[in-house]
Amino acid sequence: MKSAFPSFLRSLHLCAALSVALTSCGKSQDASPKTTQDQGPGVFRNSLSIDKTPMQRGGAVLKSYADMLEKVQPSIVTIETGIEQTIGRRRSTDDDALRFFFGLPAAPPSRGGKSWQQLGIGSGVIVSKDGYIITNRHVVLPPDLGMELRDYLAIMKLKVSLPGRDAPVLAELIDFSSETDIAVLKIPGSDLPSATLADSDQVRVGDIVFALGAPFGIDKTVTMGIISARRNDEVLAGFEKQELLQTDASINPGNSGGPLIDADGRIIGINTAIYSRSGGNMGIGFAIPINKAVAAADALSKPRGYLGVQLDPVDQRAARLYGFKGGAFVGAVEQGTPAEKAGLKEGDVILELNDKSVADDNDLRSRLSSLPPGSKAKLAILRDEKRGELTVTLGDRNRFGPSSNPSSQNPPASAPAAPAEDNSNYVAGMKILPVDDATRPSLNLPAEVPGLLIDDVQPNSPAANSGLRKGDIILRINSKSPASATEAADAINSLSNNGTAILHVRQGTVTKRMIMDVSTR
């Protein structure tokens, strides 16, 4: 694809997740202060229509919002994601016999047909007259692709259905964020119906809102509610801490990427997730503020610094134990990246970037992406309980981000069982088994990475109390990399931290630093 620039859980269903802040367009003022690393707005932001006028909350109650919705609906699209494959067609021998009987020439060889395999369906919104669309990354890249990302991108098709058009049009995937659940598409055309964006910082609890999109594939659907809460916490299990707008407007699977609009018809958020025990709406839905969504989309339009690591939150008990605040945990280091070349290692904690403290992993991602490729980044790190410094020359983040399978964002419900081992035993309430070469691929564990599989966790044990669970992979215990249950027991029994073990554990595809209290076992 050519680059012009540039909506889970056991029963929580993703509709999307986006991030960061909005800046100016036309006469509007910047909603967030610029940093010294800010490279200015990208070309995406310059094409948006933004209205930051405060909404009038007084006056008579309207009996109908039909006129307002009529103006907004043309900009709402339905997105079908799938793979188009060529299938061979066998020519019937009966057909050949008839042709011979009637003296007709043989039919030319069949070239086969096209088979469309739909992988997902979601919503999106046109935000510029020349055809840019904001939607969710998981709409474009459904979980469980079953293939490498680069292979999928080579054959993936995006069909966009626009109101008033009989046939869908093919969209180009401009880019998607590897850190946030946002993607930008482009459809051909000019003077297309585009939505107007509001300033989501002005949204208040109690404001009337509407959710638009294609829930369960039923397009042109509108539901109404209010803003129930403004959140900035990890309200959904597995969702990173972030700013969210909570609403009781009905949001269902398929609303992914569709907008949440105010009573004036302006976009205030992108429908992103629901809390559900049934698979359908239960009156608790969430949207990403549009300011954050646009800033993430705009960041895709300009060169971004690339480090080449998987960043995870820091366990706060570990932070208190070692006497530091904030920081970002390095869950993995990609081969051949600036991080690897500079000597950064899995298990490091990045405490500072260019002499300024790192608040958390999201803070570090944002600051790294604001630095231009080729710039020097000085990192203060914690490794094996000791502080140190590294200087990294940032690379240029490739379009479409790191070459990792996007389905890795959704850990499997349970890891495959490892082969049985006669000498396996329980350590701190967990049954530990080695991982052999045959099992490693199914666990997404490289051959060079040591690891032990937790095959069982006893209730009310130190392991269970620390959050460990069956299927987790232990990478390190107190700076050691045990290769057997015996070595794991030795690492735990030779404690020097007052009965506290620090474990590097991979849960699904996310590596975490976890604290286990074994002083009372």
Number of domains in the chain: 3
Confirm whether 344 is domain-assigned. yes
Q: What is the pLDDT of residue 86?
A: 56
d(CA 502, CA 478) in angstroms, rounded, equals: 5
Contact predicate 491/432, CB 8 Å: no
Q: Is the pLDDT of residue 332 over 50?
A: yes
Does 234 share its domain with 348?
A: no
Domain range enclosing 440: 411-517
Burial class (CB in 10 A: 0-12, 13-18, 19+), 320: exposed
Tell me the pTM: 0.57
pLDDT tens column, 256-307:
899 999 999 999 999 988 877 766 667 888 988 899 888 888 877 777 788 9
Confirm whether 401 is domain-assigned. no
Q: What is the pLDDT of residue 406?
A: 35
d(CA 492, CA 478) in angstroms, rounded, equals: 8
Does 166 share its domain with 278?
A: yes
More confident residue, 209 or 490: 209
Confirm whether 402 is domain-assigned. no
Among 8-17, 110-119, 258-267, 376-385, which is the least confidently predicted range? Answer: 8-17
Contact predicate 270/16, CB 8 Å: yes
For the segment 401-405, the average pLDDT, to the nearest whole number, is 40
Start-to-end CA span in the chain (Å): 57
Which domain CATH number covers 448?
2.30.42.10
d(CA 303, CA 373) in angstroms, rounded, equals: 7
Q: Is the pLDDT of residue 21 over 60?
A: no
Does 166 share its domain with 42?
A: yes
d(CA 485, CA 507) in angstroms, rounded, equals: 19
d(CA 63, CA 268) in angstroms, rounded, equals: 22
Does 441 share its domain with 367?
A: no
For the segment 162-190, the average pLDDT, to the nearest whole number, is 86
Confirm whether 327 is domain-assigned. yes
Which domain CATH number covers 21?
2.40.10.120
More confident residue, 501 or 289: 289
Does 29 share its domain with 141?
A: yes
Does 312 share its domain with 292?
A: no
Q: What is the pLDDT of residue 62?
A: 82
Could you say which of 396, 420, 440 is where a domain stops? 396
Torsion, Cα 431 437 440 446, to 10 degrees, reads: 120
Q: What is the pLDDT of residue 500?
A: 72
- Tell me how long the chain is: 521
Burial class (CB in 10 A: 0-12, 13-18, 19+), 160: buried
For the segment 47-69, the average pLDDT, to the nearest whole number, is 87
Distances, alpha carbon 177 to alpha carbons 162, 206, 255, 370, 401, in Å: 24, 31, 19, 14, 7
Could you say which of 396, 428, 456 is where a domain stops? 396
Confirm whether 405 is domain-assigned. no
Q: What is the pLDDT of residue 342?
A: 92
Confirm whether 502 is domain-assigned. yes
Q: How many CA atoms lie within 13 A of 84 on its CB side?
A: 8
Could you say which of 278, 302, 326 is where a domain stops? 302
Does 424 share its domain with 342?
A: no
More confident residue, 291 or 335: 291
Query: Amino acid letter at 25?
Result: C
Does 195 share its domain with 327?
A: no
Does 329 share its domain with 477?
A: no
Q: What is the pLDDT of residue 507?
A: 75
d(CA 446, CA 199) in angstroms, rounded, equals: 45
For the segment 212-223, the average pLDDT, to the nearest whole number, is 92
Does 246 share its domain with 323?
A: no
Q: What is the pLDDT of residue 199?
A: 94
Does 382 share its domain with 511?
A: no
Contact predicate 48/293, CB 8 Å: no
d(CA 136, CA 176) in angstroms, rounded, equals: 8
Does 213 share its domain with 228?
A: yes
Q: What is the pLDDT of residue 413?
A: 32
Confirm whether 363 is domain-assigned. yes
Q: Which residues are catalytic?
A: 138, 181, 256
Confirm whether 403 is domain-assigned. no
For the segment 383-405, the average pLDDT, to the nearest whole number, is 73
Q: What is the pLDDT of residue 202?
A: 94
